[in-house]
Amino acid sequence: RAPPAMSHRKFERPRHGSLGFCPRKRCAHHKGKVRSFPRDDPKKPCHLTAFMGYKAGMTHIVRDVDKPGSKQHKKESVEAVTIIETPPMVVVGIVGYVRTPRGLRSLTTVWAKHLSDEFKRRYYKNWYKSKSRKAFTKYTKEESEKKKDVDKECDRIAKYCEVVRVVAHTQLSKTGLSQKKAHVMEIQVNGGSTKDKVEFGKNLFEKEVPVKSIFAENEMIDVMGVTKLPRKTHRGLCKVGCIGSWHPARVGWSVPRAGQKGYFHRTEVNKKVYRIADGCKKGDGSFEHKNATTEFDLTEKSITPMGGFPHYGTVLQDFLMIKGCCVGTKKRVVTLRKTLLAQTSRTALEEIKLKFIDTSSKFGHGRFQTADEKSKFMGVMKKSITQAAAAGAK
């Protein structure tokens, strides 16, 4: 006998979507929030557990699959990857937390002596119109006059606190983005004793922390951010006629109604890091376009595709390449965190060797990987002649 068919929708209709994400309303903050850090292990050396970057766009790679027993073993695979630009972050403070029956409570915060303007901008609604700009002036004055003893506060953290986190900010001035206000976050320090953590954080004051010092290639990480908004959200599309009885005089949570779609906070786990590379732009201002070259593809090229990433531009700083897509739209800040679990799956333990990284134009059907390749194929073009003439005239 065939199973009984579902009755009319008037009487029965399985609900859609998970109730774990209620309430489905817009996220209050713009950046990804780390709600739990990895468990601390005092036996390990001190290390940071999170980082922030900016989503540049996507491309694809070719690699050989290394999975004995699988049909894909030793065969080429084409996979989509996401490029996240990760300029070095700067550590500017330490926070100590005490465990209480109601959770963590901050004991004290110690700040560095010199704080950049892009960090101070975060404390102002409108930096341009503000007249005083007195953020941290009182703190630095007290510190210089020895009214506030930084070493004493650090000793208090080492004595009473169990959890130590550093305050770090991004360097938007190093990216091609127009925003000047840095994104700030607390990053938990794991490993070692509390005293070691405080000393570790203090030694990082006013120093740049590169992404290579936190993550490694072939590692599984988690990505946190805010999702995209869809094209139409205002009036809704499919609506239900009856939204409930007269009493109780309120609309129940189970009534299907037009609601928010997108701009939710989401955490995506187990994203494999395919590559961590240095930026094209070096410390002395010179450029070296080699960070998209592989052992098999010896063409010297940078990760930025021809014409730049759509709606982002060029990636000149350090970047992180993860498998597949990730939350958020272009230019959006995403938070990267070390995995919470011990990774034992074959996918997590597989060593990735890239054969080819695509850098063709992402506008339309890209044919060429580099500008040199295009000029050799197309020959001398009228555009290049006019550009050379204009340069000569100057």
Mean pLDDT of 207-214: 96
> Looking at residue 236, what is its pLDDT?
60
Q: Which band of pLDDT confidence, cut at 50, 70 and 90, is reported for residue 272? A: very high
> Looking at residue 17, what is its pLDDT?
78
What would you report as the CA-atom Rg of the chain, rounded to the nearest whole angstrom?
26
Q: How far apart are the first and last CA of the chain?
A: 87
Q: CA–CA separation, 279 vs 319, rounded Å?
A: 7
pLDDT single digits (tens) 235-265: 666 677 788 899 999 988 777 777 778 899 9
Residue 263 DSSP SS3: coil
Q: What's the helix, strand, coil split of the chain in %, to 5?
A: 20, 25, 55
Q: Which band of pLDDT confidence, cut at 50, 70 and 90, is reported for residue 6? A: low
- Residue percentage of the chain with pLDDT more than 90: 72
Write down the H helix ranges in 162-193: none
Sign of the C-alpha dihedral computed for residues 100, 105, 108 and 114 taken in this order: positive
- Tell whether the model's pLDDT for residue 40 goes beyond 70: yes
pLDDT single digits (tens) 129-168: 998 899 999 988 888 887 778 899 999 999 999 999 999 9
Task: Assess contact for 38 and 190: CB atoms under 8 A.
Answer: yes
Q: Which residue has the higher pLDDT, 2 or 376?
A: 376
- Residue percentage of the chain with pLDDT more than 70: 95
Give the range among 223-227, 289-293, 327-331 with minimum mean pLDDT.
289-293
> Looking at residue 18, what is its pLDDT?
83
pLDDT single digits (tens) 111-123: 999 999 999 999 9
Mean pLDDT of 367-382: 90
- Tell whether the model's pLDDT for residue 4 goes beyond 70: no
pTM listed for this prediction: 0.90
Residue 116 DSSP SS3: coil
For residue 321, the cross-strand partners are 83, 275
Mean pLDDT of the chain: 91
Q: CA–CA separation, 388 vs 391, rounded Å?
A: 5
* Residues 6 or more apart whose Cβ sits within 8 Å of residue 277: 291, 292, 303, 318, 319, 321
Residue 64 DSSP SS3: strand
Interhelix angle 194-203/150-160, rounded to 10 degrees, is 150
